[in-house]
């Protein structure tokens, strides 16, 4: 597998090195839940990118979910700059042909990273090492149409099946996730500054 590099001279600062270390350790341990608490501008995306690079270097795949289609192009652009053509996209804004092409590419191993909205949790990826749900408290992760599901619950199931790390990230995590982190059932990581 090709080596992926972060194409910048940026060095993690503040709380980022500790968060990256905890996440990469979590990836090594397998199925685990971690909550990354970080306000806008705290450097969550940089932490995601470096953790994802670690997962890819280990030969495993990543599902990266964002709450809205409008956020997807920004994330995809940044991910493609770092990881090239190994990034696939899944969301309802794509035509049926585009979705089918991406689905086949993922299924055939042509993509190591899937970026998308809640439906990305169903990507036909094998050997998943990390599932990230950014802004995990958002209501858009809950499908009100049949079949009804919550992407966070499906992600939890898939992470358990694959022995993957589930990372719930937010500036304001859901009450459930924050409670579980405070109780010690999830590991809580905090980014106070960048």
- pLDDT level of residue 3 (50, 70, 90 thresholds): very low
Q: In degrees, to the nearest 5, what angle opens at C-alpha 87 toward C-alphas 111 and 20?
A: 105
| Rounded CA separation 72/93 (Å) | 10
Coil, helix or strand at residue 176: helix
* Nearest of 67, 37, 31 to residue 157 by alpha carbon: 31
Interval 144-174: pLDDT, tens: 888 899 999 999 999 999 999 999 999 998 9
* Nearest of 68, 64, 63 to residue 140 by alpha carbon: 68
| Rounded CA separation 135/141 (Å) | 10
Coil, helix or strand at residue 179: helix
pTM over 0.85, yes/no: yes
- pLDDT level of residue 1 (50, 70, 90 thresholds): very low
Average pLDDT, the chain: 89
| Rounded CA separation 21/26 (Å) | 9
% of the chain with per-residue pLDDT over 70: 93
Cis bond before residue 136 (omega within 30° of 0): no
| Rounded CA separation 47/54 (Å) | 11
Pick 120 or 70 by higher pLDDT. 120
Distance of CA 186 to the CA centre of its chain: 16
Which pLDDT score, from 0 to 100, does residue 167 have?
96
Pick 71 or 75 by higher pLDDT. 75
% of the chain with per-residue pLDDT over 90: 68
- Which range has the worst mean pLDDT, 18-22, 29-33, 108-112? 29-33
Instruction: Please say if the pLDDT value at position 180 is more than 60.
Output: yes
Interval 81-111: pLDDT, tens: 999 999 999 988 888 999 999 999 999 999 9
Helices (H), 59-150: 72-83, 96-107
Question: Average pLDDT for residues 172-192, to the nearest whole number?
Answer: 91
């Amino acid at each position: 597998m090709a080596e992926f590099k972060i194409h910048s001279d940026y060095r993690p600062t503040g709380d980022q090195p500790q968060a990256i270390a905890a996440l990469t350790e979590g990836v090594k341990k397998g199925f685990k839940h971690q909550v990354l608490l970080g306000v806008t501008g705290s450097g969550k995306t940089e932490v995601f990118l470096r953790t994802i690079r670690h997962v890819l270097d280990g030969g495993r795949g990543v599902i990266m979910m964002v709450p809205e289609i409008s956020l997807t192009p920004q994330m995809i652009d940044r991910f493609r700059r770092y990881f090239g053509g190994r990034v696939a996209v899944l969301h309802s804004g794509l035509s049926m042909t585009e979705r089918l092409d991406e689905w086949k590419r993922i299924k055939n191993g042509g993509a190591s990273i899937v970026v998308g909205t809640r439906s990305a949790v169903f990507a036909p990826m094998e050997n998943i090492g990390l599932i990230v749900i950014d802004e995990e408290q958002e209501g858009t992760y809950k499908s009100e149409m049949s079949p009804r599901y919550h992407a966070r619950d499906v992600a939890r199931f898939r992470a358990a099946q694959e022995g993957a790390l589930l990372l719930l990230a937010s500036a304001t995590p859901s009450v459930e996730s924050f409670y579980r982190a405070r109780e010690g059932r999830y590991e809580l990581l905090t980014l106070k500054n960048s």
